[in-house]
Amino acid sequence: MHPVASQGTDHGHSIRLYLLVWGWLFVLSACSYLVDYFHLQGILRWSLILLFMIVKAGLIMAVFMHLAWERLALIYAILAPPIAILIFAAIMTAEASYTFLTRLNVLAGQ
């Protein structure tokens, strides 16, 4: 694969691959639904939900959105900035816990 010639458009248009990914998306969605249907709880529930979510997102981005055939410059420009969202989520986790504890304190004093 020549670096400049790779357009991201001339690769990966095999119908077979699309059907395979399509099938997997159905299976993974059914699995996440079954997690709820069988009332799995606790760590098992969260880890399965997150696992299915990340695998589905990865399949859609890599194959359906052709990211696997794009150049590194574009891939990193897309995938690196959302790290800021994860950091924001971590900050807000701390903030929400603080709010929760403050509320418990105030409500206990009433």
Residues of the shown chain interacting with other proteins in the complex, contacts defined by CB under 8 A: 2-4, 6-10, 13-15, 18-19, 21-22, 25-26, 29, 32-33, 35-37, 39, 45-46, 49-50, 52-53, 56-57, 60-61, 63-66, 70-74, 76-78, 81-82, 84-85, 88-89, 92-93, 95-97, 99-100, 103-104, 107
Angle (deg, nearest 10), helices 15-37 and 42-59: 160
Smallest distance, Å, CB 43 to other proteins? 13
Q: What is the DSSP letter of 64?
A: I
> Which of these, 64, 70, 65, lies nearest to 18 by C-alpha position?
64
Supply the minimum distance, in Å, between the C-beta of residue 10 and other proteins: 8
Residue 21 CB, shortest distance to other proteins, in Å, is 8
- DSSP category for residue 102: H
Residue indicated by tokens 């359906």: 64
